[in-house]
Structure formats: structure tokens, C-alpha cells
Structure 1
Amino acid sequence: MAKPPNSKPKNLSGPKRALKPRASELPTREQLLAALAEQADIKGKRDLAKVFGIRGDMRRPFKAMLAELEGDGVITRTRKALRRTAALPHVTVLDIPADADPDDLHAYPAQWNEEEGDKPRVAVLQGRDARVVPAPGDRILARIDAGEADIPVYTAKAMKILDKPRRGQIGIVRMDDDGARLIPVDRKNKEMRIPLGDLLDARDGDLVEVEVKLSGRLMIPRAKVTVVIGNPMSEGALSLIAIHNLEIPYRFPASVIREAEEAQETNLKGREDWRDVPLITIDPFDAKDHDDAVYAEPDADPTNPKGHIVTVAIADVAAYVRPGTALDREAYLRGNSVYFPDRVVPMLPERISNELCSLKEGEPRAALAVRMIIGADGKKRSHTFHRILMRSAAKLSYQQAQAAIDGNADDKTGPILEPILRPLYAAYDAMTKARDQRGPLDLDLPERKIVLDDKGMVKDIRIPERLDAHRLIEEMMIAANVAAAETLEQKKTPLLYRVHDEPSSEKLQALRDFLGSLDLSIKKSDSVRASDFNGILGQARKAGNVEQVSEMVLRSQAQAIYDNENVGHFGLNLDRYAHFTSPIRRYADLIVHRALIKALGLGDDGLTENEALKLPGIAQHISATERRAMNAERETADRLLAQFLAAKIGAKFEGRISGVTRSGLFVRLLETGADGFIPASTLGQDYYRYVEERQAMIGDKTGEKFALGDRVTVRLLEAAPVAGALRFELLSEGARVNPSSVRREKKRPSRSYGPKGRKKR
């Protein structure tokens, strides 16, 4: 039998005293922690055992107690020493793991000294009244509560969701006489040495991802290769740069693939049988998934003369991706699919997106459909939602559908021209009347499509023709999205809106200043409508400067986002709007589907109460993933175009000034849409001032002006494919204005530049 300790532990004082355990008793956890905290001469478990008289049969449970405390993160072992783990401050930054359970969030300190032992696990509280709703993968500023016991049980309340810093950098390996160095893709970052032992198997010219470590007393940054991406000029590498650089998840975990492969096709149970309704899909010719189908017919109701019944059916993703599953967590983490010229990074595995939820011609598929009654004036009179089993009657491309309507039907479109296509176009013609009366923002800016060859290199850049077939599908999808928002509001069901706020007063004033320089004006009230902008664009078309005005009108707009609170959609001029029509590629649409299923009692796989509470955080997250996708797509297009133009150094091009800043001009080439930069220091022999009100650089003495939207001729001087950067030389002369009038109208001083970039004093 173990003897009790001969005396109390040494050097104990204060209110938290390690009380002497009785004979044959182990010390409590509180006594152990107090001894470690207050007795500096305790170095390890042997010293601790002596203090408490641990002998014989007590040794095994004593070791188990210490192991439990260490496992809980309460004590830590450094070499042979044991000590209390450092406590978290009352307010700190936490990282929530990307694979954390959304219903039981936990986090770890973002900054932690490894000598303190393992990071403590922190439970993240999520109350109904929480203003900040974090989600898996978020970094948060949080208020910490360790509880009242001596053993801290950490809980946290989120105060703010923070931007997460990059975990690494992307760059090109260059070998030299001293070893290896990293040339970063992002020019804002500096070159770094790579120790030869940290190269993995990277070779000269390889694109790599690195982590940055500081070494020596001078804390010199060094790079350590963590991923070898490959040759940046090889097939698909340029899109991989954006994928790695923006940390876009592109490999599905095994658990997600397993769930997708195990999914079984749904049957007719709990669904209406619409397999005889001749719904058709109309998509790009190269589309791999088809998540929306349409059908229209004349309305036989005598109370709706010359009216139409329009049906939009959307793939029922909610039937396969249920809340809390691995598929659902991964779809939320990705937020949306990302589309590159050479690949797609899908939100869902192919088994779901390209098979079970693709509305393939002739195959039964689960769908959620909305049936809308449209009047002769194009306005929706009523609508109903249905959970159905459908069978697509035909798969058409936009070009096929349009050609048939234009009198050039083929073997597929000929038989369905009269019974299916003409009623669809008749309904669309009516709906355009309502659209024109509503007056959405009419910014019809051309979008270029990059066409690649078999090696992943740019083959051609095209501006696809905008057909009525595109507008038909677009208008019917908008109507379906409005119907979804209206139904959920009527049912008082929480939902995610797609909101587009009206322009801020600051942006409106900047637009007014610019329009004033062109002798155009918009009403002075801050309460403007999309139709007001359309009026300005109409005036600009007549004046011949619509490109300049379109660019500034676009810049004046707020960014569309997702939100659980509605502020309307300014650009579409709609009071309520939700994304319902693309659940294969947007998580927002999946949430809206679940909300409709719940609100209308269409199944047991609808929106859960827990999801409804988390809608603010979900909205923030998927708005961020959407911005990430847009950045990735734009960066990749820039890199591909820079690669395409790299063989044309010295060539002349026509372009338009697409941006004016203090440091120079941005020019977009008319033929390819490639963007490049002209430094202000190269703009001729005058000193050029940036005049914000005119969005122009204007010469101090000559009055030579280069303004937003001006058509210019440039020479290509440099192309950097990995950075996606082009540098031009300006060959055109600018228009002339009175320089003294420009100085009089300026409201604040601005930097100016001479021919070599000297600042004028």
C-alpha cells in the first residue's frame, strides 16, 4: 500500500493550494495543476510523483491521469519536463478547420508556440442571437471563456470573421551558381532562396508551391517547396496557378467520392410523374451537365387570353446532397463551380453533376419544377412548385434552337419546331414586354471566349454571337428565380437572396463628375433606378462615346452578393430575387431548393432548423467563394492571353483605355480583350496629371488628354505569361484640352509625372 506523502508540497501559497491527498488516494487534477503552476522545482513526472508520494499500485493510474491531462491540452511535455499549457488570452484569433462539423464547430489558436504543446481545442458557441455566424474554414476573432474550473474548458464567441492569410506562395524555380531561388508569380512578393534540401524533386523552370520560413537572427525568409506543380507552359498549368494561388479545393476527399458513388437514382415515390411533359434542355454545344429544362404552351384558360404556361424544371440536387453529409460539407466548402478555358473545378463530383443530376435526353431524372402562368403582357399571374420525375425530350444547343426558329431546322429540331420551340419563343416574346417595361440595367458588354487547342494553348479568341435563344433561357430562369423568392417569402421561410444594392452616393458623385466632362448628366438624387442609367447609355450611344460611359456605369455599381436579408436587385430592377436554377454549380441554389422542399412539404430532405440559423454565415462564405472563382477565372484568362501574345512582342494593336490611375493607363486590346499597362512615366514629353473627375491623364503644358474609353494604338513591349501581365507603349496622340481650365476645376492636388516618372514639385 502506498504511503501518504510526508509533507505538503513545497512552495505552495495563495488560494489555489495543492491539498495533501489522503493515504491510498491519487491527487486530484486540480492538485496536480496547482503543483505544476506553483512549484518551479518540479521538472517531470518523477518529481511530481515524489511530491504526492506515488508508489506501487498508484503509479499506473497516476500515469494515466497525466496522459489524460496531456491529451486534453492542459499540460505539455517538452523533452522530459512537464508544465501547465499556456492559457489563451481573453480575445484571440482562431482557425476553424475546413472539415469541422457545421453543427458542432470547434477551432484552434491561429498563433501558437509549439513548445507549449498541442494547440487547445476551443468549442465555438453559436447562439440564435449571434451577429457573427462562422463556418468551417473561417478565421475568426473571438472572445474566449475558460470556464471557472482550474482546468480550462475553452469556449469562444465569434466577434468578427477575418481574412485568412495565404498558407504559401506560388513561384518558378530558377537554378543558379549558388543553388536555387524562387521567382514569385505575384510580383508584390520578393524573390527568395530555396535551400537545396528543400527542393523536393523540382527542377529549373518548374512551377512550385512553397511555404515561407524565417531563418537566422536576421529572420531572412527562405522558401521550402511543398508541392511541385510542373512546367508552367505545359497543358493546364496556367489554370493550376490560379487554383493553387487562390487555394481553390480541386481534389475531392475519398469520403465525398464514396458517397457520390453509392448514391442511387431516385424513383417516383413522393413525386409527380411528368415524364410525358416534353421539357427540353438548351445549353452551350459543349456543355457536360444539363441542370435546367423548359417547356411552354398556350394557356387554354379563357380568363387569360393569349396567355402562356411556362414550366422551368431544375435538377433535384437536394435529393442526393443532404445536410450534414460529406457531399454537403464539400459543396459548402467550395461554394460554387469554377470555370476555366481548359477545365472545370466542379462543386460536386461527376457522379452527381454529370450523371444523376444531369437532365439527359430520354432518361428519367428527379427535378424541382415551377409552373408559371404568364399573361399576354408577359407578366406572371401565378405559379406553383412541384417535385417531379421528368424525361428530357431533346438536348439542343443555343445555335440549334435559334437556327430552327430562323428557318434552318435540322433532323432533331424539325419534328419539335411547331409543338415545342415555337410555343417557347411565343412565351419569350410576351415576357420581353414585361422585361422592357421593368427596365433592367442594359449593359450589354461583350464577353470573349478563349478557345484552346489540343495542347491547352490559345487557338482563338471569339465573341460568341448573342442569340434570342440565350435571352429566352435567361428570361425564363430569372422568372423562376423570382417565383422561388416570392414563395419562400409567402411561406415566411428563411432563404438566401441574391441582392444587388443601389450605387453608393460616393460612386454616383464620381459618375456625375465624369459625365459632366462629357456634357452628360444624371439626376442629382441619390435615389436612382436602372432606367436612369439606361437613359444615360442611350444618350452616349447617340454621342458616340458609349464605351466610356458603359465602363463608368459598370464601375458605379455595387457588387451582387448573397444575403439572408433582402435589399432587392438593382440591376435587374426586381424587389426580390433568389438563385434557384443552378444547384449543380451554386450552393446558394441548393439552399433555396431545400427551403422550398421544407416550406411546401415536398419531402424530409428540406432545410433544417440548424441551417436556417446559419444562413448569415453561409451567405458570407459563398459570396467570398464566388469572388474567389471570379478572380481565378480572370487571372487564368490574363495568363493565357499573355502566353498567346508573347510571340508578338513589338507588334502594334488597337485598343481602348479601360482604366486610368495615378501610375498609368490600362488598355484593353480590341481583338483579343487582353489587358495591359502603360506606365505614366512613358506618356510623352509633358507632365501628366491624373484628373479623377475626368478619369484622364492630362498634360500640364500641352493639355494632351488620355481618358477612359479613348481608342488608342499601342505597341507590345513585354509579356509575362506566368504573371498574366502585358506592358505597352502608347503610339497615339491624345485629344487636346485647355490645361488651365483643368487646373481650375481640380478639387484636390494630384501627383503628376514627367517623361521619366519624375514627380513635379
Structure 2
Amino acid sequence: MPGDPDAPDHAPAGPALPSREALRRFLREAPGRVGKSEIARHFGLGVEQRPALRSLMKALEEEGWVPEAGARPHRGGGTLPEMAALEVFGTDADGEPMARPIRWEGHGRPPLVLMRPERPGQPALAPGERILARVRPLGGGRYEGRTFKRIGGGPARILGVYQEGRIQPTDRRQRSEWSVSPENSGGAEPGELVLAEAMPGGPLGLRPARVVERLGPMDAPRAVSMLCIHAHRIPEHFPPEALAEAERARPIGPEGREDLRALPLVTIDGEDARDFDDAVWAAAEDGGWRVVVAIADVAHYVRPGSALDRAARERGNSVYFPDRVVPMLPEALSNGLCSLRPEEERACLFVEMRFDARGGKTGHRFGRGLMRSSARLTYEQVEAARVALDATLPMAGIEALYGAYAALAAARGRRGTLDLDLPERRVLLAEDGAVRGVVPRQRLDSHRLIEEFMVAANVCAAEELERRRQPLLYRVHERPSDEKLEALRQFLGAMELELPPSDQIHPRHFAGLLEQVADRPEARLVHEMVLRAQSQAAYAPENAGHFGLALARYAHFTSPIRRYADLVVHRALVSGLRLGADGLEEAEAAALEDTAEHITRTERRAAAAEREAVERYLALHMASRVGGMFAARISGVTRFGLFVTLEENGAGGLVPSSSLPDDQWTHEEAAHRLTGRHTRLCFSLGQAVEVRLAEAMPLTGGLLFQLLGGAAPAPGARRGRIRRGPPGGGRPAPARGARPR
């Protein structure tokens, strides 16, 4: 099909080459080992199409699909197949490569594969390389791997700090440094953040590398976000042709659009919001409520197949850091013509919704309009205005917004949804970029108001596109897996809390559980454990419902400035409602499955980068408090130590097993507990402890703590005497008969 990105440039005569998704589906469903012959026979391909098929299979190999070896990507359970596609991500303490599955859809974290040394004369594996490997289990979620074939990955990227002929990696999983000869330093100065690539080297000594880009001093104010951008390979610069298209964009008039300029729509966002793509208005009507949600008409400016469209799809979404945003669209659009600034005319797509007094929707309609925001309000302003009746704000409009929200919130309560209250952390920066503090963001009723209106608009978009039989990117969130529910039950059992059987689980059961612990000190931990039990939300062209919101159908419509999924939904609405010639094209519709997979990956990439940036800023902030004592709770229990989270600011770090009381520790994985054989002390998930900050590492974002107090006796045991390890967190001598930890 013309425009299909999976089609070869010069397709030969005969049956069409399968798309990547069709080939993936066949590999998933094939009962046994398959190769090129089985694939060609299944799709009716001739000999002349074998070269194109090989190219397609090569591309899938690099994604982790390995058809020619007869091994398919791992799709569930908790074990790896005998032959697996792996990516090397670092080295262990002895400098040996560590790898993980390229694609992992099992439960929990991907297993660790310890690679055996390469054969003499072969270049060592470097981070970033992809391989096929024969693996065998070692126990405890670890595997031993032997390289069968290298399948790409190119020169390994190394992000680190240059120091006099060496590079110290910023990724805490890469424990070994790299050597850099003077001719390969690229002029880097000591203390600079650099990008480098691995070079061939021998089996002994540090692996050699070559600096390919200097990113500036590591102690510069913007270094943390720059580091995260490069570590996660987030596209930072727009192609010149995309920038040129954005600069050529112009405002539009009311022709062919519904005139909403007299409607007093307002935007409500955070104080530090950088783009404004939704505006709201509400009024009481016939015993119920009329609500309008207007969204920036990005589809008018970003046409399918354009340079802007290609750049937006590649990014998938905007990425937000404490000191900057990496936008999905160039600034001329994201902060200009597609930002709903007050008192400026803007093109929009809108949905007008009507609800009865109980919050039940009685109707909706979509349209393309021209609007003018009457005010740019913040959540704090709106909340304060509601309490203090601030006459400087449009109070009649605000009261109506809260009235409509109350009705929608009541309907949500009856529906029974999952509402996790985990405070988001906000990094406060000074003018010079120094960290002033890290504080939880307040979650006000004004936040919930906007959330309810956006959810209602998103549901309307899904319903409208289904009704008009248009292609649709759903936002899906499946119910938790039975394995995750069972793990959660075991954790809750220690607190004498229960959940119903898996086949009866509903979001309201989680809501009831959270109500039970609302006043208990473990409330935050229970929220976190319930969150961990949930499936990850994703985009898909097939509907699987939204478990967390207890909705049968859901799509993303309200943020096309920062999410490509919403732009696709806008185009589908334009096509289905015949609102213009810039709707969803046939080639786009055919590629929705690939688009869904891609933007799900970019969304998770962005979330990981944003989370890592906050962790690094926290480490930077905590560096001045080394030696300080803190109240904390155990948030993770592993064989190699305890993860703790500080009550003060949510900073998390590791208490290594080497700093625990000298004992033989048994890791009870199902119970999330470490128990000492001799002391009979016990460390359990959620337990309150006191810790001392031993080390803060802004370079890697890591924090190390030492335990000061809080050990509890094991169930049924008397408290034993704590035998401390040596000062400074060194490894104590093992107890008699203790096995290595």
C-alpha cells in the first residue's frame, strides 16, 4: 500500500510482503520452530521475494524477534527460552558483560543474564550490543549466557564523565570505566559530560572508547536533564524542514468553523505549565450540566506525511524535566499557534457534553471551532477562588465548573475506579540551576476537576469513533495478572487485609482496600504496592477496556500538543465527522498497530527519563546531607539488601546487605522479608526504620544508606542481639556456617 512504512521501496510482482505486525503475529502463534521457508510458505512468497523477506527478518531480529533461529520473544511466564535475543547493558564487578532480554513481557523485571567470556581473539561484548545467546538458568532469576550470534546494535554508546584518559559511566549498572587515548579524547576536558562509542579491544584491561560528542561540564545547571535526554536517546533537535514548516504556519479565521469566541473558556494548569492545549467551560442547564472542552487543533497544522508529522511520530510525546521540556512539536506551534493563550484566537476541536444531575451523560457532539481563552488560570488560583470567593476571577464560571465536577465525581464513585494517591515530586530550582528543594506536588480538587472533564471528553471521542466505524487508537489498561494479584495478596496478608478472587476483581475492591489503610502509617506503601500490581497502560487499535477507570472504552483526545496518540484521534474525528480534508489517511489507518507499539515505547521511555531526572536531582540535593539521619520505610526487599524510601521527601536508596547486622540472611521472596538465622531479626516490606545517609552519587543518581534502627524480631521469635558490621558499611566477617550473600 502506498505510504505503508513496512512495504519495500521496489515491491516485486506477486503476493505482497507481509507487514512487520503480520509477521510478528505469525511468529507469536506458530506452534513450533519456524524459519524463512515456513514464513514464505505461509504467506505464499516466491523465490524472488526472499531477499526482501531477509531484510524484513533482519529488522525484526534487531527488535528482539529471531525467526531464523527458531526462537520467539518471551511473551509471559518467568523463564527465558534456551535461545534468547539479548542486549548487553553493562558489566559486573569483574568486568564481565551483563545482558537482559531485548523484549520482555513476563512478570516483574527482566531477568539478568551473565555472559560467559568470549572465545580468544573475539572482541569483548560492549554495552549496547545485541546478540543471540544460548542461556541456562542459574537460579534466583539469573541466567548464564553464551554468545551464538551478534545481531547488531552498532558501536555501544557510552555516556559518562571524562577524567584524564578515562570515562566514568553515568549509568549505575555499568561498573567498569573505559580508557580513552589522547587521540580519541575529542578535546574533552576533565569533568565534562561526554558521549563516546566503544572500540575493539583485548580481553584484558579497561575497554577502549572514543569520544564522539562533548556535552558540557557535569556540574553545569542543565547537566542532569541533558544527561537523561542522551541516556534514553530522546530526539532533541528537529529536522530543518520540520522547523521550516512550523515557521510557515499562520493563524486561521472562522470560515468553516463554529465561532466559540464569545464563550468564556479558560485554561487551568500548573504554575510551571509550559503548554496550554485544553480549555473548559460549564453552565447549569435543565437540572444538569453543559460542559465544553476545547482542544488545540493540532491536526490543522501537522498534516499526515509532512516533516512535522514524521518528527512528531518519532518523538511520540513531549518529555518534561524540572528545567526544560523536550517538546513533540517545535516551539512555533507548541508555545505558539497551538497554545491556547488568553485573549488570542486559536483553532480548536471541541466536544460539547451534557450530563444529568447525577453525572450521567445524556449526549455529546464534536465540532471544529475558533475560540479565544478568556483567562490562563492555575490550579492554586482556582482552588483559592473557590474558598475565598476571589472577585478578580470569573467566579460564576468557576462555581459552575465545580458544580459539574461534583456531578461527574459522584458518577465516578458509583462506577468504582482506582484512585491512587501517590504524591508527585516537584524539584525546585534556583536561578542558577541549583536545587532548592524537592517537595510533593499538591493534589487539589481543581486538579481532579480537570481530570474528570478530560476523562469525559476522552470517553466521548472513543464512543464517537466507534459509532462512526472509524479506525481508533484506544488507551487500554488491562486488569492485573493473576500472578501479580497473588503476590499482592501475600503482602496484604501480613497486614490482615484481603482481596476477592482474581476472577471477581474490580477497581472498587482496590478503592475499598485503600480506604481501610487511609489512617495507617503504611498507607503510602500500600498505595505503592497496589500500583505495582497493576498492568501498564498502553495504546492499541483493539479495545481491551480501561480497568483503572472502570471504563469499557477510552481514547486520548485532550493533549495533541504533547501526545501523538491524541493527534491520530483528532485526525480520525476529522475524517469521521467530515470536518476537513486533513483527516486520517488510509496508509495511517493501516499502520495503526505499528504506531500503537511505537508510541507506547516512547511514552515509557519518557516516563523513565523523567523519573531518572528527579532521582538525580534528589541525589544532588542530598549530597550536602551525607551523614544525616532520616526516618524511612522499607520499600523493597532483595537478596542483596533493602531499598528504603525517606519519609521526608520520597528519596530512595539501598541499604546493602553488607551493612546489615552480621548474620546469615534468608530472603523470603513471597513474603517480601529478610530473616536472620542467628539473630532472628526480620526486615519486611513497609517496616519503619531509621537510616543514615552514607553516600550520595549525583553522577549515577544513587543513594546508599546504613541502618541505624528498626529491626523487628522474626515472627514467633524473641529479639536477638544485633551484631553490627564494621563502621563505614564494610562487609563484616560472615557468621559461622553462613552462605555467601
Give the TM-score, by structure 2 length: 0.79
1:701·1:739 contact (CA, 8 Å) conserved in 2?
A: no
The structure 2 residue matched to 1:349, chosen from 330, 336, 361, is 330
User: Corresponding residue for 1:651?
Assistant: 628
2:663·2:734 contact (CA, 8 Å) conserved in 1?
A: no
Cα deviation, residue 641, structure 1:
1.1
Deviations 1:585-619 (A, max 9, x none): 00011011111111111111111111111111101
User: Corresponding residue for 1:366?
Assistant: 347
Cα deviation, residue 233, structure 1:
1.0
Deviations 1:480-529 (A, max 9, x none): 01111111111111111111110101111111111122222111233311
Deviations 1:86-122 (A, max 9, x none): xxxxxxxxxxxxxx976475699xxxxxxxxxxxxxx
Q: Provide the rounded CA distance (Å) in 2 between the counterparts of 1:150 and 1:445.
A: 53
Higher alpha-carbon Rg: 1
User: Corresponding residue for 1:619?
Assistant: 596
| Residue 181 (1) aligns with residue 152 (2) | no
1:451·1:458 contact (CA, 8 Å) conserved in 2?
A: yes
Q: Is the alpha carbon distance of 1:106 and 1:187 closer, same or farther for their aligned partners in structure 2, counting shifts above 3 Å?
A: farther
Cα deviation, residue 298, structure 1:
1.4
Structure 2 counterpart of 1:227, which letter? E
User: Corresponding residue for 1:130?
Assistant: 22
2:627·2:694 contact (CA, 8 Å) conserved in 1?
A: yes
Structure 2 counterpart of 1:417, which letter? M
Q: Provide the rounded CA distance (Å) in 1 between the counterparts of 2:732 and 2:371.
A: 68
Deviations 1:13-63 (A, max 9, x none): xxxxxxxxxxxxxxxxxxxxxxxxxxxxxxxxxxxxxxxxxxxxxxxxxxx
User: Corresponding residue for 2:363?
Assistant: 382
| Residue 727 (1) aligns with residue 704 (2) | yes
Q: Provide the rounded CA distance (Å) in 1 between the counterparts of 2:228 and 2:272.
A: 23
* Secondary structure of 2:572's aligned partner: helix
Q: Provide the rounded CA distance (Å) in 1 between the counterparts of 2:627 and 2:641.
A: 20
1:448·1:461 contact (CA, 8 Å) conserved in 2?
A: yes
User: Corresponding residue for 1:231?
Assistant: 217
Q: Provide the rounded CA distance (Å) in 1 between the counterparts of 2:498 and 2:271.
A: 43
Q: Provide the rounded CA distance (Å) in 1 between the counterparts of 2:50 and 2:575.
A: 43
Q: Is the alpha carbon distance of 1:703 and 1:156 closer, same or farther for their aligned partners in structure 2, counting shifts above 3 Å?
A: same
Please give the residue correspondences for 1:540-619 in structure 2 after superposition, counting only pairs within 5 Å. 540-541=517-518, 544-619=521-596
Where structure 2 has 5 or more consecutive residues not aligned to the other structure, the ranges are 27-33, 65-101, 103-129, 131-152, 719-729
Deviations 1:523-556 (A, max 9, x none): 1233311111122222223555323322221111
* Secondary structure of 1:171's aligned partner: strand
Q: Provide the rounded CA distance (Å) in 2 between the counterparts of 1:261 and 1:542.
A: 54
The structure 2 residue matched to 1:666, chosen from 597, 622, 643, is 643
Range that drifts further, 210-219 or 383-392: 210-219
Deviations 1:293-323 (A, max 9, x none): 00111114xxxxx201011010000000010
Q: Provide the rounded CA distance (Å) in 1 between the counterparts of 2:542 and 2:370.
A: 33
2:179·2:206 contact (CA, 8 Å) conserved in 1?
A: no
Structure 1 counterpart of 2:624, which letter? A
Tell me the number of residue pairs that the alignment of Structure 1 and Structure 2 aligns.
Answer: 619
* Secondary structure of 2:388's aligned partner: coil
Q: Provide the rounded CA distance (Å) in 1 between the counterparts of 2:160 and 2:521.
A: 44
Q: Provide the rounded CA distance (Å) in 2 between the counterparts of 1:153 and 1:693.
A: 49
Q: Provide the rounded CA distance (Å) in 1 between the counterparts of 2:432 and 2:388.
A: 38
Q: State the identity %.
A: 46
* Secondary structure of 2:567's aligned partner: helix
Structure 2 counterpart of 1:466, which letter? R
| Residue 524 (1) aligns with residue 510 (2) | no
Cα deviation, residue 701, structure 1:
3.0
2:289·2:355 contact (CA, 8 Å) conserved in 1?
A: yes
Q: Is the alpha carbon distance of 1:624 and 1:172 closer, same or farther for their aligned partners in structure 2, counting shifts above 3 Å?
A: same
Please give the residue correspondences for 1:45-124 in structure 2 after superposition, counting only pairs within 5 Å. 103=5
| Residue 193 (1) aligns with residue 182 (2) | no
The structure 1 residue matched to 2:158, chosen from 155, 162, 169, is 169
1:682·1:757 contact (CA, 8 Å) conserved in 2?
A: no
Q: Is the alpha carbon distance of 1:462 and 1:667 closer, same or farther for their aligned partners in structure 2, counting shifts above 3 Å?
A: same
Please give the residue correspondences for 1:274-353 in structure 2 after superposition, counting only pairs within 5 Å. 274-300=260-286, 306-353=287-334
User: Corresponding residue for 1:687?
Assistant: 664
Q: Provide the rounded CA distance (Å) in 2 between the counterparts of 1:142 and 1:631.
A: 35
Please give the residue correspondences for 1:697-736 in structure 2 after superposition, counting only pairs within 5 Å. 697-736=674-713
Q: Is the alpha carbon distance of 1:149 and 1:381 closer, same or farther for their aligned partners in structure 2, counting shifts above 3 Å?
A: closer
Range that drifts further, 337-346 or 166-175: 166-175
Q: Provide the rounded CA distance (Å) in 2 between the counterparts of 1:104 and 1:618.
A: 12
1:132·1:617 contact (CA, 8 Å) conserved in 2?
A: no
| Residue 628 (1) aligns with residue 605 (2) | yes
| Superposed CA RMSD | 2.9
Q: Provide the rounded CA distance (Å) in 1 between the counterparts of 2:209 and 2:637.
A: 36
Where structure 1 has 5 or more consecutive residues not aligned to the other structure, the ranges are 1-99, 109-122, 135-140, 301-305, 742-752
Structure 2 counterpart of 1:679, which letter? P
Q: Provide the rounded CA distance (Å) in 2 between the counterparts of 1:499 and 1:217.
A: 47
Range that drifts further, 542-551 or 141-150: 141-150
Please give the residue correspondences for 1:717-756 in structure 2 after superposition, counting only pairs within 5 Å. 717-738=694-715, 755-756=732-733
Deviations 1:436-474 (A, max 9, x none): 111111211111111111121211222232211111101
* Secondary structure of 2:502's aligned partner: coil
Structure 2 counterpart of 1:182, which letter? I
Cα deviation, residue 155, structure 1:
6.9
